[in-house]
Structure 1
Amino acid sequence: MKIENPVLTGFHADPSMIRVGGTYYIANSTFEWFPGVRLHESQDMVHWSPLPSPLGCSSQLDMRGNPSSGGVWAPDLSYADGRFWLVYADVKVVNGAFKDCVNYLVTAEDIHGPWSEPVRLNGVGFDASLFHDDDGRKYLVQQTWDFREYHNPFNGITLTEFDVDTMRLKPETVRTIWGGTDVKLVEGPHLYKIDGLYYLFCAEGGTVWTHQEVVARSATLDALSFEGSPLNPFLTNFDTPRNYLQKQGHGALVSTPGGEWYYASLCARPWHHATESFTDPRGWCTLGRETSIQKVGWTEDGWPYIVGGHGGERFVDAPTDAVEAGGAPVSRDQHDDFSASTLGVDWNTLRVPFDERMGSVGGGALTLRGQGSLCNLFDLSLVARRWQAFDFDASVGVRFDPCTYNQMAGLTNYYNDLCWSWAFVTWDERRACRVIEVAQNDFNAYTSFLRDNAVPVPDDAETVWLRTRVRTQTYTYDYSFDGEHWQNLGVELDARILSDDYVNQRYGGFFTGAFVGLAAVDLSGYDAQADFVDFEYRELPAA
């Protein structure tokens, strides 16, 4: 069998991979999207299935008002003492000198839950992980943030002992164990004890084209006792601009029952406009940062390396002891008739869980109550799923009866509160009828594309069908009044506006990826309701 990278497509950043018995688990960052932390499991590292998220209620994660790309950064999943341990940060400030955050810990005896209420740890820095030493002691390992303008903000990797009896850290034990290399921006630490030595894996260079993973080791956990590997960088695409995978770095190490080693890392797959250089800019990553898995070898003197070179490979040998799963490959296509009373595992909301304030689901419809605009960080009725392919179609039926232009409901392609577009049903007071409009928000430059040419909705049309067709570099919107015969709305949009790399040009939080979703807005404050029926997401075969 071969592992084909990325193994988790579309916005699955900062993977923390572990093995418990013969099962592998990956936890990924979710940032401002709810529920918090994305989980997958696999028996062979090839086929991955989603699991319920561990942070499903506001008592575990309160992100209301969080900035875009704040929220859950770099969760760390581990297993010890008969239970799962999950450390995660809730980041409240993204731009500027400060990165206000709180690190939390939850535990569960079963990966499916229930998960405990969170224990507050500290706010020293983000990307914290929990190391379980073989003598029974536990330590929080984390990036340390320094807001002082005369220091590098990434102020090394610190270690603080954790007391299991009190479920509290021991601040008096804190020490810096490694300052990183001259690449700087050292973060994402994971610590392992292998053959009596401590190995520290860290990301550096920022989660952009210069991203990399480096390794250091020590015989002790004393302050500044770690030495860097002579093979560093362990993993990077900085010097492999034509590699299929880019931005590889931040991740976690795992061993198989048979003694093989693998490394799961974030990665990205850029595309380019025909008029652009292939290397500058290196491209646009609309699918965000995904998860790849590379095979790891060891030198005679005990340093790890990526098999095939530090640029990584698209196809990697699967573990020799893996048992191939039978049947057809798992499809990412989705049809939701909204007959269930809860949202499926692929659906997400922003900052808060889906509840009666936002709407309801079941009986064949998703009902959304109009709240704030798609720029709103507090009250927003949006249910969305990740883009997981460069080329796909998504459609939905909308039943909506607005009485003012302040009421809107439709289908959106969304990156964050600054960059999004949608096709929606609203009211045109000049023509005294419902119409279909297409609009885009590009760093708060808002454009209504149809204006006087907005499509009138017939009075007898109970359902307006909306569809988006995403084709890597561009995407469009269509409409139908019967769900079978479609008309293009005449607007072709540049997909790069929904990419990490585009957002990074003007905003410090560029860590998620594009979503397609369903939204209802009522700026008049009357809670106009929209019913959404028969959502479809269908990926096109890769070229």
Structure 2
Amino acid sequence: MPRVLNPILPGFNADPSIIRLGDDYYIATSTFEWYPGVQIHHSKDLANWELVIRPLSRKSQLDMRGNPDSCGVWAPCLTHDGEKFWLVYTDVKRKDGSFKDTHNYIVYAPKIEGPWSDPIYINSSGFDPSLFHDEDGKKWFINMLQDHRRRPRSFAGIRLQEWDPKQEKLVGPMKTIFHGTELDLVEGPHLYKRNGYYYLLTAEGGTAYEHACTLARSRDILGPYELHPQKYIVTSKDHPLAPLQRAGHGDIVDTPDGKTYVVHLAGRPTTQFRRCVLGRETAIQEAYWDKDDWLYVKNGPVPSLYVDLPASRDDTAYWSEQRYTFNTSDGLHKDFQWLRTPEPERIFNLADGKLELIGREAIGSWFEQALVARRQTHFSYDAETVVDFSPIDERQFAGLTAYYCRYNFFYLTVTAHADGQRELLIMSSEASWPEGRLTFPIISQAIPNEGKVKLAMTIRGKKLQFFYALEGEEQKEIGKVFDASLLCDECGGHQAHGSFTGAFVGMACSDIDGQEKRAKFDYFTYKPVKDESDRYEV
């Protein structure tokens, strides 16, 4: 079988939930505050994946305006009961402090492409819910349970209750079926049934460097559940030099020919600070059921960088330059997302072959900002765009940004001085790490008041450099070399146990005068670069 390099879904694709339907595999991953919600990829061979839909795409399903960074859609679970697809998800409205507002919903669809239903509210007692379809026709809702009295962590075990699809509500008694191990922070439950056993796969240890997949089983769905002989079937917690770190939160899938695989999240840290700029990605491991009816990961529990899969991976598209144009008939390319709002017409439109951003709140707003971006999926890349923008003062600005969250971004803007003279200005949150004060160094360059401006950026590992060019002129550097490694979970305002996304690159526009000043972008390019210093991609 071909050896394939992990991860199979690179760049911010966390909390994978996988199913197989005939010869088709589907993986759903978290999207947090990025809209539309939930990424669902499709594959025929487990090696080559294509994004097919983000199903939470209208206001009735998801409205995240006001959600803090790294809140929003957590850990979706995708299942199929033989008749339709079911998707369970959490919309997290707050995560800091003892109380967490975690609203759990179910949507369903006859096909993966939809149409997806309006959401059915389930509860708010915890997060990371899943839906298990038992052989007798019963459906069980499983999620972690929160207890705000517990200190310092509110994780109180895995709760199970029957869900009635006809009444569209939970019925019968609630039962806490698993309290986890001493690793603590038990979450991300998935149930399976095999050879008379119910198997419970959970995530433990938080989502940073102590993360793990824990397996337990019982003859009765209500328990008691006994632990796997190894406790943790996937983890890097005791192996700090393993190439895949932060391994945990997994799901299990069988192939038509009887092989078993575990998908799980993982991070690939760089720099001496172990920073994961690509966020938590989806990796896959070959597994097998042994004579004791326990599942073991091949060469595990430490995840392997390479895995044997049914097919080799075609990386042509992954390493190709992507040039995005903005034709109205094509719509916005599926690589792009925006932040929080279910009303994208308020922040952008496509007209005359341009992407027009409508100036809203300042970059970093948790409510309504005009920012359209794509994931950073390579450790080194070039990005470029051309903007037509005529600001009248310093409260109107638009341009090119490398963005993680409100606390961590780099932003080359076209703006104006208080006297109306147009200028380039770099906003960097570099100086605010780790306190999050958002103090910007002033790096400005006066430019003519008329004409388009090319804005560009190069990232080579941890080094970020901005460039600009006026019409008819050569490209020039602007500003210093910035530390791009700050665009990571470990520096995301709440650090590794509270920041869960990944770096993006894209275009933004703000008008805090409230006049809705428009910025027009001609195109956007993203060009991957193979950096010889990178131990993962060369």
Q: Supply the distance in 2 between the matched residues of 1:121 and 1:368 (Cα, whole angstroms).
A: 36
- Of 242-251 and 144-153, the range deviating more from structure 2: 144-153
TM-score (normalizing by structure 2): 0.94
The equivalent residue for 2:236 is 237
8 Å contact from structure 1 (residues 68, 509) kept in 2: no
Partner of 1:541: 530
Matched with 2:202 is 202
TM-superposed deviation, 1:99? 1.2
- CA distance in 2 between partners of 1:311 and 1:504 (Å): 29
Distance of aligned partners of 1:394 and 1:165 in 2 relative to their CA distance in 1, 3 Å threshold: same
Query: 1:7 & 1:400 partners in 2: Cα distance?
Result: 39
Matched ranges for 1:175-254 at <5 A: 175-222=175-222, 224-254=223-253
Matched residue type, 1:440: S
Distance 1:122 1:243, change over 3 A: same
Deviation per residue, 1:498-524 (Å, 9 max, x gap): 110122656963000111111101011
| Percent identity of paired positions between Structure 1 and Structure 2 | 41
**CA deviation profile, 1:116-168 (whole Å, cap 9, x unmatched):** 11111111110000001111111011111111145851111111101121121
Q: Which residue number in structure 2 is paired with residue 287 of structure 1? A: 278
- Matched AA of 2:325: D
Per-residue CA shift, 1:225-259, capped at 9, x if unaligned?
Answer: 10100122111011111111111110210000000
- Once the two structures are superposed, residues 323-379 of structure 1 have per-residue CA deviations (whole angstroms, 9 ceiling, x without a partner) of x68894555642111113521111111111353211211421010111111121112
Relative to structure 1, is the Cα distance of residues 48 and 450 closer, same or farther in structure 2, using a 3 angstrom cutoff?
A: same
Equivalents in 1 of 2:3, 2:102: separation in Å? 39
Note closer, same or farther for the CA distance 1:422–1:504 as it changes in structure 2 (3 Å cut): closer
Q: Find the residue that maps to 1:356 and give its secondary structure.
A: helix
In the alignment, is residue 458 of structure 1 matched against residue 459 of structure 2? no
Q: Distance in 2 between matches of 1:265 and 1:350?
A: 25
1:500 pairs with 2:489? yes
Distance, in Å, in 1 between the alignment partners of 2:120 and 2:472 is 49
Paired with 1:258 and 1:425, the residues of 2 have a C-alpha distance of 57
2:290 pairs with 299, 302, 325, which one?
299
The runs of 5 or more residues in structure 1 that have no matched partner are none
Residues 497, 542 of structure 1: alpha-carbon distance in 2 compared, 3 angstrom cutoff = closer
Change (3 A) 1:138 1:287: same
Alignment of 1:22-421 (within 5 A): 22-150=23-151, 152-170=153-171, 172-222=172-222, 224-272=223-271, 276=272, 281=273, 283-319=274-310, 328=316, 330-331=318-319, 333-341=321-329, 342-353=331-342, 355-421=344-410
* Conservation of the 8 A alpha-carbon contact between 1:439 and 1:446: no
1:487 and 2:486 matched = no
1:530 has 2:519 as partner: yes
- Aligned residue for 2:536? none
* CA distance in 2 between partners of 1:446 and 1:93 (Å): 21
* CA shift for structure 1 position 450: 4.3
- Structure-2 change in CA distance of 1:188 and 1:504 (3 Å): farther
Q: Using the alignment, how far apart are the partners of 1:419 and 1:59 within structure 2? A: 30
Change (3 A) 1:6 1:497: same
SS in 2 for 1:250: strand
Aligned partner of 1:433 in structure 2 is 421
Is the 8 Å Cα contact of residues 157 and 186 (structure 1) preserved in structure 2?
A: yes
Contact 2:79 2:87 in 1 (8 A): yes
Residue by residue over 1:481-537, the C-alpha shift from the partner in whole angstroms, topping out at 9 and shown as x without a partner, is 248721110321112321101226569630001111111010111111100111000
CA distance in 2, matches of 1:124, 1:446: 34
CA contact (8 A) 1:94 1:508 kept: no
Aligned equivalents of 1:199 and 1:385: distance in 2?
A: 37
SS in 1 for 2:327: coil
Residue number in structure 2 paired with 1:423: 412
SS across alignment from 1:103: strand
Q: Contact 2:408/2:491 (CA < 8 Å) preserved in 1?
A: no
Q: Partners of 2:336 and 2:134 in 1: how far apart?
A: 37
What is the number of residues matched between the two proteins? 526
Measure, in 1, the Cα distance between the counterparts of 2:228 and 2:173: 26
Structure 2 gaps of 5+ residues are: 533-538
Verify the 8 A CA contact 2:62 2:342 in the aligned structure 1: no
> Which TM-score applies when normalising by structure 1?
0.93
Shift of 1:433: 1.9
Change (3 A) 1:500 1:199: same
Which shows bigger deviation, 153-162 or 141-150? 141-150
8 Å contact from structure 2 (residues 86, 106) kept in 1: yes
Q: Deviations over 1:172-210 (max 9, x none)?
A: 321011111111110000000011211110010000000
Which secondary structure state, in structure 2, belongs to the residue aligned with residue 229 of structure 1? strand
Counterpart contact for 2:402–2:411, Cα < 8 Å: yes
- Structure 2 counterpart of 1:393, one-letter code: D
**Alpha-carbon distance between aligned partners in 2 of 1:374 and 1:112, rounded to the nearest angstrom:** 33
Return the alpha-carbon distance in structure 2 between the equivalents of residues 474 and 354 of structure 1. 35
**Contact kept? 1:422, 1:439, Cα under 8 Å:** yes
Give, in whole Å, the separation in 2 of the partners of 1:8 and 1:506.
23
Return the letter of the residue paired with 2:257: G
Cα 1:296–1:357 shift into 2, 3 Å: same
Structure 1 residues 365, 251: closer, same or farther in 2, change over 3 A? same
Is the partner of 2:344 in helix, strand or coil?
A: coil
